[in-house]
Amino acid sequence: MSALPDPLKLAQSPTSRGRRWDHLELLERIDASGSISAAANAMGMSYKAAWQAVEAMNNLSEQPVVARQTGGKHGGGTTLTEYGRRVVAAYRRLEKERERVLSQLNRIMGDFDQYYQLIRRFDMQTSARNQFLGKVASVRTGPINAEVILDIGGGDQLAAVITHDSVDHLALEPGMEAYALVKAPWVILTTDDSLKTSARNRLCGTVVRCQEGAVNAEVIVELPGGKTVASIVTNDSIQSLGLKVGVRACALIKASHIILAVAA
């Protein structure tokens, strides 16, 4: 049983009413309509919730499952990549096999469903807005902590500083898969490529969404490899940095602000 949910399960974000969206249906509707807005409307989702689900899946996939296209009412249409279509086909097939196996187990073990529901509770959910799946490139130990470099694809890496106990507990070693979790308020944005900071991680890309609220705003930066970084900044920061769709921006993340996790 995975300690973290798979990319598709993770994208089932609960709404304020506690409903869990069907990620697979969202992908299928995007493929059929070529529009994330149309897909969201058909499912009764908000446009923002749909994009959050897509971004979560892209960040946890080796390749993007959904790609943006230029133009359109909301700044561009959307389409499933060939990889995304294969994921949907494989997941539907797996779903059928899962139903068949569960049905057979229920016939063999009358109270199986009771224990199955308990097992499903072990799947961990997390509030971290940014979640990346990658491979450990290196583990370097120091006198107090260890630095772990995680390759998240697209030429981007994340450096995390964790304790030696955490390295041992997670059994981290080069080549193994691991998740990097980063809360959106921990991500600092800058539009100055020459700015020197103490932040160990610097991920640069293009702003693809910028939504202001009463005080704070959510900014989504898309990296060259198709993954995205979400940041929560003040509305004043939006204005002073000139952040808007199409602007190049860099996400700065301290190594100590990255939480690492692995599948059990």
Domain boundaries, the chain: 1-125, 130-179+257-261, 184-253
The burial of 133, by beta-carbon neighbours within 10 Å (0-12 exposed, 13-18 middle, 19 or more buried), is given as buried
Select from 196, 204, 207, 202 the least CA-distant residue to 243.
207
pLDDT > 90? residue 114: no
pLDDT value at 151 more than 80: yes
Structure tokens at 7: 């990319």
Q: Which CATH number fits domain 130-179+257-261: 3.40.50.2000, 1.10.3720.10, 2.60.200.20, 2.40.50.100?
A: 2.40.50.100
206-211's contacts with Cβ under 8 Å and 24+ in sequence apart are: 206/246, 206/247, 206/248, 206/249, 207/243, 207/244, 207/245, 207/246, 207/247, 207/248, 207/249, 208/68, 208/75, 208/245, 209/51, 209/245, 210/238, 210/243, 210/244, 210/245, 211/48
pLDDT grade for 19, boundaries at 50, 70 and 90:
very low
Predicted confidence band of residue 91 (pLDDT cuts 50, 70, 90): confident
184-253 shares the fold of 1-125: no
Residue 1 scores a pLDDT above 50: no
Q: How confident is the model at residue 17 (pLDDT cuts 50, 70, 90)?
A: very low
Q: Which top CATH class is 184-253?
A: mainly beta
Tell me which architecture the domain covering 1-125 has in CATH: Orthogonal Bundle (1.10)
* pLDDT bucket at 23, cuts 50 / 70 / 90: confident
How far apart CA 148 and CA 140 sit, in angstroms, is 6
DSSP per-residue string spanning 2-67 = -SS--HHHHT--B-TT--B--HHHHHHHHHHHS-HHHHHHHHT--HHHHHHHHHHHHHTSSS-SEE
